[in-house]
Amino acid sequence: MKIGEFANQLGVSTDTLRYYEKHNLLTPSSRTEAGYRDYGEATLKQMKFILRAKNVGFSLAEIKELLQIKFKKHQHSCHEVKDLTIQKRDLVAERIAELTRFHQSLSVLADKCCGGQEPADNCSILTTLEDIDGLTQ
Amino acid sequence: MKIGEFANQLGVSTDTLRYYEKHNLLTPSSRTEAGYRDYGEATLKQMKFILRAKNVGFSLAEIKELLQIKFKKHQHSCHEVKDLTIQKRDLVAERIAELTRFHQSLSVLADKCCGGQEPADNCSILTTLEDIDGLTQ
DNA sequence: CTTGACCTTGGTGTGTACTCTAAGGTTTAT
DNA sequence: ATAAACCTTAGAGTACACACCAAGGTCAAG
């Protein structure tokens, strides 16, 4: 399968596939005489693995680690894999916590403001940002 | 006040201040004869405004918009300010939702895996990523 | 008068995940 | 035989918010 058809089947761009190849995430099975990339069953499975891993929030760098483990499963332990997963989960949790603080502060600000058509001279949002320090505590 | 002292007082780097100036977020009141930046009270207040806005999650581009409104308050309405705030809040909410889905999937994966020292040949995390499509639903 | 701490500008590098472009070669259909 | 549709490479551009660097000017203390 040439790159265009392969990309279509997976719903990604050919650029993405070349990018993944460059970054050692997915190398096509072989090349045609003309030098065209030729993708097969194995690459299809691997690409699906990559897309699923992306879907649960792993970065490409993390996926690369997972693939290295996957390639040599018996040289790695369950522990390693679970560790990666939990590390990622905790990182996601931290980011959620930060964004939740943002959301809370923004809600407080929004609730303070009338949102009317009058000039913003006394807008509570602006004056709060000008004056109050403890907005995030 | 020269840039170094000003930066110290605010807990930011001089690079940051020059970056903000370049991007029209904060221009020092004047320059000394030698061409040194000279910061005063007004810039201090404005920088605090910027830092507070950052603290509630606004990006520098959004802060720039807020500043433009703040500079000409009577030419803008409360509505505009509230709109910016609510748009941002909703965007943050979306991102939280996405990350929460990630967190959920990662938890499911982690819980499946024993995490032991044995080889990863049958690791539930890897096999799940290899086989199951509906992980995020 | 020199040393060291500060300041200036312009430019490059970082990380993430692509997207786009240019200049050219290949394949397929008409 | 030629045009359209595909493929190749290397390299630049995008967004975000800085950090870092080089080469040089300025200022206060000893």
Q: Of B120, B101, B129, nearest to A47 (Cα)?
A: B129
My answer on whether B127 and B89 are in the same domain is yes
My answer on whether B46 and B81 are in the same domain is no
Are the beta carbons of A93 and B103 separated by less than 8 Å?
yes
What is this structure's pTM?
0.91
Q: In Å, how far are A131, B50, B120 from B27, measured between CA atoms?
A: 20, 13, 57
| B137 CB within 8 Å of a chain A CB | no
* Residue of chain B whose Cα is closest to the Cα of A86: B110
Domain for residue B69, yes or no?
no
In B43-72, the residues whose Cβ lies within 8 Å of chain A are 45, 48-49, 52-53, 55-57, 66, 69-70
Domain for residue B62, yes or no?
no
For residue B31, list its beta bridge partners.
B37
Domain for residue A116, yes or no?
yes
Per-residue pLDDT of chain B (137 residues; tens, 9 = 90+): 999 999 999 999 999 999 999 999 999 999 999 999 999 999 999 999 999 999 999 999 999 999 999 999 999 999 999 999 999 999 999 999 999 999 999 999 999 999 889 999 999 999 999 987 655 54
The separation, in Å, between residue A51 CA and nucleotide D7 C1' comes to 24
My answer on whether A49 and A88 are in the same domain is no
My answer on whether B94 and B44 are in the same domain is no
| A133 CB within 8 Å of a chain B CB | yes
CATH number at residue B2: 1.10.1660.10
My answer on whether A42 and A91 are in the same domain is no
My answer on whether B82 and B47 are in the same domain is no
